[in-house]
Structure 1
């Protein structure tokens, strides 16, 4: 099976100063934290790199972008305390809220680029990231999505668009392997929504890998994004009698589906993707979420010691436990930017783009990260989690087999 990955790692123009965890909001929706002083500033000789972050800090994407942003402030402060990117450039973050709206994302990204961002971070969803990536592409500013998972994102923007987390066609590989090889499932039903790239592509790619491993897709059905009505779909699932149901739905849809499925007396296992990793799931779905298995970016357990260490730091500095695994994507992003600046030897846009595209085995919090040969989307470990007794339980961490990663859905 042909494998093609797409990267949402974006470095476009960012001018937000973060060297500490404190922040303040102004009336214009821009957030910044004071730059580090003393040791960190002296170590960088006053040189800075402007990183713009077009963040979805309000609206339906806020549960995903906000934990990532909180972790990013910590990771940036840590890097600045070490002397900045490549031990030379203190990171200045300029954060503006895109309100989970595509037109606002385009406008905000343009403002950040115009303000001199040398790297751009875009939201945790492909559609606003495509909009935000366009101004960066035009300005030759590398852009990287903090945690968007659509494998179509980079190609939808251009060669300056990257992805910080594994794309959905990559994360479903260990998920399908676990379904077939570990659980012995032979038939699957795919539930997807064509209304967004993420909710559409995940089940399609899972079906490709599931079939390549010897399984059979016995049914597929669409649903309306944020419609929260699944009666007709559940009737078709009941008739198909699959071994497993796979969906990339996320809240509020995922909780609604799980509750309606179990209320209908259907106990078929459900598999999901990283959109399931949100604090709302256990609150909203309750016991209906038990048994759900999903792919995500890391878990603070002894099997993942660096994730465990960052989770402890996050808890100490924010007063809260990590709200989702997107927290661990933030120090990974800083590690990737550090490696790219070191490799490029400058902050020149084309040089940074080429350096990002050539990175191999960068040591991040979640494991080794490789972009070389991956079409601007990283090859990195995938963590599998099961919901048991109303809590998340570690299952395994696996690196996707590159030859099993399917090509992005066209269109």
Structure 2
């Protein structure tokens, strides 16, 4: 996937509101204010006089809620170090909403997406959530993909009774924020367990080291569940080392792991750290396989890690090589929409999160938040790209996990593990 283009996510100022086309209208906005300078006083004067001119001609600028559109908010890491995650989820969401609009919209109304870029930074998601809810009046929020940033949104969504659906946040604490918070992905307790059993039963590993982040809810949760299950399965944790978000030098931790005699390393991290960890491990002469979770499955892992990520294993939500009819159709449509790009797991989850919201709106028959919340909570057996979605009493989805590896610079399907 090409690096995100930051220019695509700047604020747009509209002088008039055109008719909504059949495809989804997506407004990606930053938190930076629009700045007018005195270099062009004529343009500035016209902009200042625009409200008066519109009033004199009988026209008024449109605001959120003035039209018959259903406004849907999205908060994601469209740029920054987890930009590949956010870009994938965003494109999946856009594809789902465009498809719905092409069929006539929902409840006879067109869908409109308002996207906010948190730039992969802590604190930005909370600011974006307040804006989408109070200013844009969205009926629901899709996002975030990273658990720690979803937690920022969840407390605000619950306080304001705004339904929220996370496409990919796997930390158990996300939906514990309250009954307006949902997700379409499996939990860390499941994928941590899956990888521990895979390590013991399929790879025959006895001694595994863990290298995790101290500042990521995702990493902490996965490390715990992997460790508990691996020990219960008769394995040994040879060493436990930790790092902080933003670290780029892992050689001290890897040196200690090498001395432990571990026959594999479990690294519950995102692709940015994992690629660097893999390269530094190989530089230190560590040849054992690395294992991880769904934060690995982006092309950037291979682009950055190169030969160092050959032979790794990780758990994820789907494979584009799956020949199930709905997956084949999704991959075909996604490639047609996004210039031949093959959709990763976050694109599939973004698509399924939007499908869940669309289905709930149709069944609720209204955008009323309480009715929409009830419809989301009652979802059963909804077909999607990452499997069928059943929302349980804790607003979580029960899904199978897919095990992938890297061979010859390609992501390769290994197996699927049912819940």
TM range (shorter): 0.7 to 0.9
SS of match in other structure, 1:369: coil
State how 1:245-324 maps to structure 2 within 5 Å.
245-322=265-342, 324=344
SS of match in other structure, 1:102: coil
Summarize the Cα distance change of 1:149–1:19 in structure 2 as closer, same or farther, 3 Å threshold. farther
Aligned partners of 2:32, 2:400: CA distance in 1, in Å? Answer: 35
TM-score, normalising length: structure 1: 0.82
- 2:123 is matched with 103
Asked if 2 retains the 8 angstrom alpha-carbon contact of 1:274 and 1:295, the reply is yes
Deviation at 1:305, TM superposition (A): 4.0
Aligned partners of 1:221, 1:397: CA distance in 2, in Å? Answer: 29
Aligned partners of 2:22, 2:120: CA distance in 1, in Å? Answer: 26
Asked if 1 retains the 8 angstrom alpha-carbon contact of 2:167 and 2:352, the reply is no
Structure 2 residue 231 is the aligned partner of structure 1 residue 211: yes
Q: Which digits, 9 at most, give the CA deviation of each residue in 1:140-167, with x for residues without a partner?
A: 1111123222221122x32212223222
Aligned partners of 2:261, 2:325: CA distance in 1, in Å? Answer: 40
Deviation at 1:252, TM superposition (A): 2.5
Q: Which has the larger radius of gyration?
A: 2
SS of match in other structure, 1:69: helix
Aligned partners of 2:102, 2:31: CA distance in 1, in Å? Answer: 29
- 2:417 is matched with 398
SS of match in other structure, 1:364: coil
Q: Which digits, 9 at most, give the CA deviation of each residue in 1:319-373, with x for residues without a partner?
A: 0323532111122112212332344343222232233233222111121112124
- 2:380 is matched with 360
Q: RCO higher in 1 or 2 (8 Å CA, sep ≥ 6)?
A: 1
- 2:199 is matched with 179
Aligned partners of 1:19, 1:213: CA distance in 2, in Å? Answer: 54
Give me the CA root mean square deviation: 2.4
Structure 2 residue 391 is the aligned partner of structure 1 residue 388: no
Summarize the Cα distance change of 1:222–1:27 in structure 2 as closer, same or farther, 3 Å threshold. closer
- 1:229 is matched with 249
Asked if 2 retains the 8 angstrom alpha-carbon contact of 1:298 and 1:304, the reply is no
Deviation at 1:379, TM superposition (A): 0.8
SS of match in other structure, 1:225: coil
Q: Which digits, 9 at most, give the CA deviation of each residue in 1:31-81, with x for residues without a partner?
A: xxxxxxxxxxxxxxx964321112221222211101111121111111222
Structure 2 residue 330 is the aligned partner of structure 1 residue 327: no
Asked if 1 retains the 8 angstrom alpha-carbon contact of 2:72 and 2:113, the reply is yes
Asked if 2 retains the 8 angstrom alpha-carbon contact of 1:368 and 1:381, the reply is no
Asked if 1 retains the 8 angstrom alpha-carbon contact of 2:142 and 2:165, the reply is yes
Aligned partners of 2:86, 2:363: CA distance in 1, in Å? Answer: 28
Aligned partners of 1:262, 1:256: CA distance in 2, in Å? Answer: 10
Deviation at 1:22, TM superposition (A): 7.1
- 1:20 is matched with 23
Deviation at 1:399, TM superposition (A): 2.0
Asked if 2 retains the 8 angstrom alpha-carbon contact of 1:166 and 1:380, the reply is yes
Aligned partners of 1:70, 1:372: CA distance in 2, in Å? Answer: 27
